[in-house]
Amino acid sequence: MKQFSLIEKQESLDVLNYQIRACERCSLSVTRKHALTGEGNIDASIMFVALSPGVKEDSQNRMFIGPSGQVFNKLLYAAGIDRDLVFMTNLVKCMLPKNRKPKMDEIESCSQFLDEEISIIHPEVIVPLGYYATRTVLIKYHIDPQATEMSFAKINGKLLFLNGKKIFPLPHPASLLYNPSFEPDTIEKYKKLKTFMKNSKLL
């Protein structure tokens, strides 16, 4: 995989982000206000992959600023991680109407964008948030997510080494909006992220 300098990273992202904003590969382009591009530190060790923008994100064209974004900020704070030091993106770049589940063609339409973002940012650890992002990342690195030992419940919060890439699946912050009782356990999982920051050794 090619290593980009910071200037090359930004230039490559600018081209990719233009393509994302102009994308009309699926019907979500009709209902969205914005196709969200990734944001954050382009030299980040950690790259979060969420599912899709929410209503507020779609309206204001920013990552994680709605209700789940408030939870995300709280989890990062508890983990001792500065949000400005990570990179964040979505599996599906456009808002899913009525917060419905994504369709396979919608995921596939955006998959090339995610592949290119991972190639450009080249994070030390990819952190997919929730079932759909985790499933897609596992498939990308040639792992069968249907296998019992790879079920989301069993790999959630565990570091996986897949084809030369470190994957660390975590619960999506939105899950705590519906199940607040999961917060203590989720915080403990997010605290492990500190280990993956630059100049830190993996335990």
Strand partners, 49: 89, 128
- Quote the radius of gyration of the chain (alpha carbons, Å): 16
Q: At what angle do helices 67-79 and 183-191 cross, to 10 degrees?
A: 50
Output the average pLDDT for the chain: 89
Query: In the numeric block, which tokens belong to residue 113?
Result: 């964008």
Asked whether 1 and 121 are in contact (CB, 8 A), the reply is no
What are 5-52's pLDDT values in tens digits?
899 999 999 999 999 999 999 989 999 999 999 999 999 999 999 999
**How far apart, in whole angstroms, are the C-alpha atoms of residue 95 and residue 112?**
18
What is the helix, strand, coil percentage profile of the chain, to 5?
50, 10, 40
pTM above 0.75, yes or no: yes
Asked whether 143 and 150 are in contact (CB, 8 A), the reply is yes
- Amino acid identity, residue 151? S
Can you list the domains of the chain with their CATH numbers? 6-196 (3.40.470.10)
What are 67-108's pLDDT values in tens digits?
999 999 999 999 999 999 999 999 999 999 988 999 999 999
What are 179-195's pLDDT values in tens digits?
999 999 999 999 999 88
